[in-house]
Amino acid sequence: MTLEELKALVRTVPDFPAPGILFRDLTTLISDGEGFAETVRALSERAEAADSELIAGIEARGFIFGAAVAARLRLPFLPVRKPGKLPVPTIGIDYALEYGRDRLEIDPDRVRDGQRATIVDDLIATGGTALAAAELLRLAGAAVSHALFVIDLPDLFGAERLRGAGITVEALMDFHGH
């Protein structure tokens, strides 16, 4: 299956969750068994080349892809969670969204000092979420050198922001526009 064929499995929903946003919905890709498997294979290949020791997936859609990559490579999976979800003491980071603020939390005991972590999420837009996840992982002692996405929206320059923080960014496909 080619990346073009994978891209054709992404559903675009206009004006969701707000007017003017083109929502790139991966529900249609993961409901195609071959498409999901090929997506996970392609992400895993990149995580393996990055010599990752830990896969960190961002809640919620980053769990779908990140957990599958971690299992395929037999690497530990770290959920980067929305606030208040983990049942143990956490470390967290607040970050700005386009409208308002949000917070991510992790269990710092699941990260070893210097462990090479790769971030996985479904999509990078402004990069704010992935950058916050990278800062949080670094706070816990991880070495974050790579971030992998199924989709990049290059017109929002998120990948450039991550590269500015010393992170190699790879995405399987691009969509122009917002």
Distance of alpha carbon 160 from alpha carbon 120, whole angstroms: 16
Strand pairing report for 11-14 and 22-25: antiparallel
Residues 44-73 that bind ligand AMP (CB under 6 A): 58, 61
Q: Is residue 128 at the binding interface for ligand AMP, with CB under 6 A as the rule?
A: yes
**Which stretch, 28-36, 79-87, 108-116, 120-128, contacts ligand AMP (CB under 6 A)?**
120-128
Nearest to ligand AMP of 13, 51 (CB atom): 13
Contacts of 121 (CB under 8 A, 6+ apart): 57, 58, 61, 62, 65, 66, 129, 130, 133, 147, 148, 149
124 binds ligand AMP (CB under 6 A): yes
Q: How far is the CB of 116 from ligand AMP (least distance, A)?
A: 22
The yes or no reply on residue 35 touching ligand AMP (CB under 6 A) is no
Q: Cα Rg for the chain, rounded, in angstroms? A: 15
Residue closer to ligand AMP, measured from CB, 53 or 77? 77
**Residue 170 in contact with ligand AMP, rule: CB under 6 A:** no
Amino acid at 14: P
Work out whether 126 is an interface residue with ligand AMP (CB under 6 A): yes
For residue 66, how many C-alpha atoms fall within 13 Å in the half-sphere facing its CB? 29
Tokens of 24: 């790139």
Task: Decide: is 23 part of the binding site for ligand AMP (CB under 6 A).
Answer: yes
Minimum CB distance to ligand AMP, residue 80 (Å): 10
Q: What's the CA gap between 93 and 168, in Å, rounded?
A: 21
Per CB under 6 A, residues contacting ligand AMP are 21-24, 58, 61, 121-130, 158
